[in-house]
Structure 1
Amino acid sequence: MALSTEIDDFPYQFPEGLRVFVIDHDTTQLNAIADMCFQCNYEVTTCPFASFALHLLRETKGLCFDVIIIESQMPDMDSYEFLQHVTQEIKIPVIMMSCVDDDTTSARMKAIEKGASDYWLKPLNVNHINNMWQHVATIQQHDQIQRILEVKTGQKLMKRDEQSARKETNVCVLETKNNRVSWQLPELQQQFLIAVNQLGIDKATPKKIAKLMDVPGLTTSHVASHLQKFRLRYY
């Protein structure tokens, strides 16, 4: 089992330094694709076994590679099964390649359905390799957009909660200024009931309830009025 990795000495500046993982049982094809990757200043790792490649990807969690190219007819493992595992477990774009004899509409559709980023016909040329970085950029842009949307959604929710809290606060302040308190607010009513239960209905006085509730702007007279209505209704 041979696994070869060759890295040129140059700084990583996308798309230069793109880390390509090529999987093909045909060593001639592997060497040809590796040479084209070097021409484009990409780093390249080649592997003739799909099963070992999948093991390596799982061990490294895909952190060593940016894009994968795999032959559609690997003898040691079904290439479509490999494709499905990689796209589900690791977010790396996978490009499937095949000979003209193996190229059918159903094969292309199956590859796309399993998550392939593209489907190329052999022999590959340097234009294929040179433009390969676009698939990586698409994935990165998608992830970046998702992160931006998540942040914006979170910001909108926070803003909405702040506005809602501000609105409730403004209502309480406004009604307090008019010597009224809205006991329809669930939080306020809950605090009132907790205080009454803690003191006992017979010993619950407006002053004691107001002290236990400790709500800014809530006076003894506010509590007295509500306590009287509460006793008449429930006792």
Structure 2
Amino acid sequence: MTVEEIRGDRDNYDNFPVGLRVLAVDDDPICLKVLDTLLRKCQYHVTTTNQARMALKMLRENKDQFDLVISDVHMPDMDGFKLLELVGLEMDLPVIMLSANGDSKLVMKGVTHGACDYLVKPVRIEELKNIWQHVIRRKKPSQTKSNDQGKASGEANGSPTSGNGDQNGKFSRKRKDEGYESEDNGNDSEDPGTQKKPRVVWSIELHRKFVGAVNQLGIEKAVPKRILDMMNVEGLTRENVASHLQA
């Protein structure tokens, strides 16, 4: 069951995440086999490769054929963090880093490079059973967008709404190159009461400011409030920073 099928048919929610499409990357053949076996036990569709460059080629040619990537950190042909960075810049896919080294600095490096999770070998099946949550979080804006018509219909029939239209209207006009984008894609003609809360789009420039702030503060002091103060970006909230820190 793919994410697209789930989004198109609510009756299939009970079966999700069966069929989640995972690309697993690890140069160690034994670790890759173990990972493949565990993922298949979770009823995911699994594609494996022992080369980071091959993984990147597969993603570039078939980026719509995968829902999530799990990549080892240390690989001979390309560093796992480099693969993570390229996937983040070129496609909207969640990436989980995998390593036998659980050092906090390495974990923090994964976070600052955009990893949605960091798993330490040997990986447990209990951890892999929950990775679908990262896909749902990433797909959530598209899901809520597809439900606009239903929400508007409910509100027309007198259902309460909690949106604050004035603030949303201001955000919808904020420049996208600053890293912000309204989820209603500029449909200013809609009733402000039906507009959704804008989300922060973590552009390359905004992410660089985030990484710079984290590096300057250091791992121990890199808390959302201090990162927010150091970034000094208009409209950015502590919740935005906290969410990106945990993504």
Give TM class, smaller chain. 0.5 to 0.7
**What residue is the counterpart of 2:122 in the other structure?**
123
5+ unaligned residues in a row in structure 2: which ranges?
1-11, 149-181, 193-247
- The aligned residue for residue 184 of structure 2 is 151
Tell me: CA distance 1:158–1:130, structure 2 relative to 1, closer, same or farther (3 Å).
Answer: closer
Amino acid at match of 2:56: L
Matched residues in 1 for 2:114 and 2:107: separation? Answer: 11
The alignment partner of 2:24 has SS state of strand
Where do residues 39-58 of structure 1 align in structure 2 (5 Å cutoff)? Answer: 39-58=41-60
Equivalent residue number for residue 112 of structure 2: 113
RMSD (Å), alpha carbons: 2.3
1:13-92 to 2 correspondences below 5 Å: 13-60=15-62, 62-92=63-93
CA positional deviation for 1:73: 0.5
* Cα distance, 1:55 vs structure 2: 1.1
Cα 1:145–1:41 shift into 2, 3 Å: same
- C-alpha spacing 1:58/1:152, structure 2 compared with 1 (3 Å): closer
Over 3 Å counting, the alpha-carbon distance change for 1:158 and 1:48 in structure 2 is same
- Scaled by the length of structure 2, what TM-score is found? 0.54
CA distance in structure 1 between the aligned counterparts of 2:36 and 2:57, rounded to whole angstroms: 21
Partner residue of 2:221? none
- Deviation digits for residues 84-116 of structure 1, max 9, x if unmatched? 0001111110000110xx322221111111110
One-letter amino acid of the counterpart of residue 77, structure 1: M
1:216 aligns with none
| Percentage identity across paired residues of the two chains | 36
Larger Rg: 1
- TM-score, normalised via structure 1 length: 0.57
Q: Secondary structure at the match of 2:184?
A: helix
Counterpart CA distance in 1 for 2:66 and 2:72 is 17
Check conservation: 2:32, 2:48, Cα contact below 8 A. Answer: yes
* Preserved contact between residue 20 and residue 132 of structure 2 (Cα < 8 Å): yes
The answer to which structure has the higher helix fraction is 1
User: Distance between the aligned counterparts of 1:83 and 1:145, measured in 2?
Assistant: 27
Q: Does 1:94 align with 2:127?
A: no
Residue 141 of structure 1: aligned partner: 140
What displacement does 1:15 show? 0.6
Aligned pairs for 1:145-224 within 5 A:
145=144, 150-151=183-184, 154=187, 156-158=188-190
State the Cα distance separating 1:145 from its structure 2 match: 4.3
Unpaired runs of 5+ residues, structure 1, are: 1-10, 161-235
Moved over 4 A (4+): 145-149
SS at match of 2:136: helix
Instruction: Note the C-alpha offset of 1:129.
Output: 1.2
Quote the offset at 1:78 in angstroms: 1.3
- The alpha carbon displacement at 1:152 in A equals 8.0
